[in-house]
Amino acid sequence: MGKTCQICGKPSGLYPLCKDCFVLRDNGEVIKDEESGKWIRVEKDNQSNNTSAQILSQTKNDNCIFCGKASSGKPFCKDCYYECRDLEDEIDRNKKPFELRDYYYNLKSANYRIVALKNVIYNCKKMVALANITNDSYDDTSLVSRVIEDVKEIIENKKQKKEVKINNFTEQADSQKSGIIRTIDGHIVKSKGEEIVDNILYTNGICHCYEKKVVEISTDERTIQSDWFIPITGAKGIYVEYWGMTTPDYLKNKEEKKKLYKEKNIPLIEIQKEDVNNYSDLNQRIVQEYNTLKEIIKKTI
């Protein structure tokens, strides 16, 4: 049995709003109540004169910038626009404006490394979702005013590269058939376990870099490299280590690194090889440890 619209009570299929009330939402007449999580109608006097839908519609396009279908003079067709709106539910609305902006620019940067066009388009739609939330929740137009041009530039750049003649060798080298493991955000990692961890960081909007020198430990005598680094503020952040091997030399190096992290009191998230077998638990733990360590770092500033 399908759902009924939270505003008018009409059948709405799998969605909380019917098609007519989705239009009202786009016009700013329906908003989601932050406390209850339900959609409500707002009085006209309380409506923003600067909704994301209104700002985005100011950019005129004959065709949708995502799929190329006719879009009635708007930057997106209805299907792609609603997909962008649906992606808003995957984003934590409790994030502060600067965190939403960081997430946006992290996605933008990742798009230039990603090979598959479908993944690029997905990221671009999430960029639109972030721009919508930043504007509608915080009245911050910095993203919604630029997202169309950013997305156009990214997709055009990717399409131009697609037009370059690709031979069989290139196709094979760009796939996992040649041993390359590429994460969603474009990092090339060494194992399936590292791919899982990197994708968890990415899908939770945690800005990260892969294989970074641990500056708190590295000296002229020895350089320590972490699997990931999560910047929090300035040069301070959280390191992540995935212990994915069990050879004697590896285990010896592992214990030495753990000792150095502890001696220097460096924030560290440790992931064992067997942890990646339970994605749900690992995803939850990484997010919890990240949030806990982030707050500890902020208190030391």
Residue-level pLDDT at 300: 82
Q: Contact 97/136 with Cβ under 8 angstroms?
A: no
**Alpha-carbon gap, residue 74 to 142, rounded angstroms:** 20
Coil, strand, or helix at residue 17?
coil
Coil, strand, or helix at residue 237?
strand
**Alpha-carbon gap, residue 78 to 71, rounded angstroms:** 7
The CB density around residue 138, as the number of other CB atoms within 10 Å, is: 13
Q: Which burial class, exposed, middle or buried, applies to 126 when counting CB atoms under 10 A from its CB (0-12, 13-18, 19+)?
A: buried
Residue-level pLDDT at 179: 55
Residue-level pLDDT at 135: 86
Q: Which of 281, 257, 53 shows the shortest CA–CA distance to 148?
A: 53
Q: Which of 110, 119, 124, 136 shows the shortest CA–CA distance to 80?
A: 124
| Sequence spans of domains, the chain | 1-47, 51-163, 187-299
The verdict on domain 187-299 having CATH code 3.40.960.10 is yes
| 28's tokens | 């700013």
pLDDT in tens, 245-268: 888 888 988 998 999 999 999 999
Residue-level pLDDT at 176: 40
How do 236-243 and 225-233 pair as beta strands?
antiparallel
- Per-residue pLDDT for the chain (301 aa), expressed as one digit of tens each? 567 888 888 887 777 888 888 777 766 677 776 566 677 876 544 444 467 767 776 777 789 999 989 888 888 898 998 899 888 888 888 888 888 888 888 788 778 777 788 888 988 999 999 999 988 888 888 888 889 999 999 888 877 765 554 444 444 444 444 457 888 888 888 889 999 999 999 999 899 999 888 988 866 556 788 999 999 987 889 999 999 988 888 898 899 899 999 999 999 999 999 999 999 999 999 999 999 999 999 888 7
Q: Which of 115, 108, 72 shows the shortest CA–CA distance to 207?
A: 108
Q: Which residues, 6+ apart, have CB-to-CB distance to 271 below 8 Å?
A: 193, 197, 240, 241, 242, 243, 282, 286
Residue-level pLDDT at 46: 41
Residue-level pLDDT at 249: 81
